[in-house]
Amino acid sequence: MRLRRRGAELDDTRSADDPPVVPSLGNGWTQPIRPTDYPALLESLRADSLPDPGPEHLVGWDGVRTRVTMLPFAPDELAGTTSTTLPIPDDGYRSEAEEYVALAQAIATAHDAFRIVEVGAGWAPWSVAGIVIARRRGLHATGIAVECDRVRSEWAMEHAADNDVRAQLITGSPDEIAAALALPWDGVELRVVRAAGWHARTTLQFPDLDEGDMGGAVWTLPGTDVDYRGAHLAHHDVPTVALADLLDAPTDLLHVDVQGVETELLTTAADVIQASVRLMAVGTTDRGNEGRLQEFFLPRGWGLSIDEPCTTLFTMTHPTLAGFTTQDGLQLWENPFLRADFPG
């Protein structure tokens, strides 16, 4: 395929003799993290000694205790057990290796302190694990977990307590939440925000879910009770918290799992993200969003370390592409401009 001139049809001031404009994507600095790199990175999360799981918890190789009742895809017999196996290709009950690798990379490259912001947090597995592991490595660790579902935000508080993480629950209107986030932390390690992560302070709709449904999203077809999957669900108003209010300090990892609205959220808030976030792990829910994120962040100089596409099954009918997704993908983005060794 021949390289076409870019911009000639858009810029009337360009002459036919001007050289072609070649787009510059990425930064030429970020290195891909390959599957062969996974074992070493995952081993860096391993705990030297593991806590007692007790009758209700599963303890992972990373030393994190999780109540099995919070894991909708886990068999009940995992309660009271310990797993020392690395999650390759996945852990069998929650997530794939790539999400753990993203956390490992963020902690491995942190200096003195570690800060994680988790949007669409559920029971805050990545925030709690990040804090537990980072402080074990001698880093001052803090996190914010954003979850608009009442039950799951309560689970996040419980999960934090189960792992000796000092947590604070923040609720209220968008302005009240922003004001609470601006207050001193006073020994708190994790702030659980009962709201939807968004690019502005407003009110959105969220479906009423049962405890086993982990696929809720702050979006519904206008004038209907249908969500992005085609499910008919009652919805209720939820406050939002703006990314600008969450990212008011240098952040080592922004973890986003928002089930289909990731492009709208991240591209609209791109300036504040670029100013404060070193690494960004995005759960992707359809091929269109994956491509749009690449088209947006690569020209801004971000590097894509992991690009694991989502899995789809085109059966039945759904109102959106994300409705066909059977397994989320993951993109791990690096902001090179916040690297100390980046030229310039």
pLDDT, tens digit (0-9, with 9 covering 90-100), for 110-127: 999 999 999 999 999 999
**Cα–Cα dist 90/313, whole Å:** 20
* pLDDT class of 231 with cuts at 50, 70, 90: low
**What confidence category does residue 2 fall into, taking pLDDT thresholds of 50, 70 and 90?**
very low
Within a domain: residue 89?
no
Under the banding of pLDDT at 50, 70 and 90, the label for residue 226 is low
221: confidence class by pLDDT, cuts 50, 70, 90: low
The DSSP bridge pattern shows strands 277-284 and 251-256 to be parallel
pLDDT over 70 (residue 12): no
Please give the tally of structural domains in the chain.
1
Question: What is the rounded radius of gyration, in angstroms, for the C-alpha atoms of the chain?
Answer: 21
Tell me how far apart the alpha carbons of residues 234 and 124 are, in angstroms, rounded to a whole number.
25
Tell me the per-residue pLDDT of 120-166, one tens digit each, with 9 for 90 and over: 999 999 999 999 999 999 999 999 999 999 999 999 999 999 999 99
**Range of 300's domain?**
98-338
pTM of the model: 0.87
pLDDT number for residue 319: 75
Whether 257 shows a pLDDT value over 90: the answer reads yes
Summarised one tens digit per residue, pLDDT across range 204-216 is 876 665 555 455 5
CATH of the domain at 301: 3.40.50.150
Q: Is 192 part of a structural domain of the chain?
A: yes
Q: Is residue 44 part of a domain?
A: no
In a domain, residue 164? The reply is yes
pLDDT tens string 79-107: 999 999 999 999 988 899 999 999 999 99
Q: Is residue 66 part of a domain?
A: no
Q: Which of 257, 38, 17, 268 is nearest to 152 (CA)?
A: 257
Residue of 276, 294, 296 lying closest to 284 (CA atoms):
294
Is 258 contained in some domain?
Answer: yes
- Whether 126 is in a domain gets the answer yes
Please tell me whether residue 177 adopts helix, strand or coil conformation: helix
What is the bridge-based pairing of β-strands 196-198 and 235-242? parallel
Note whether residue 34 is domain-resident: no
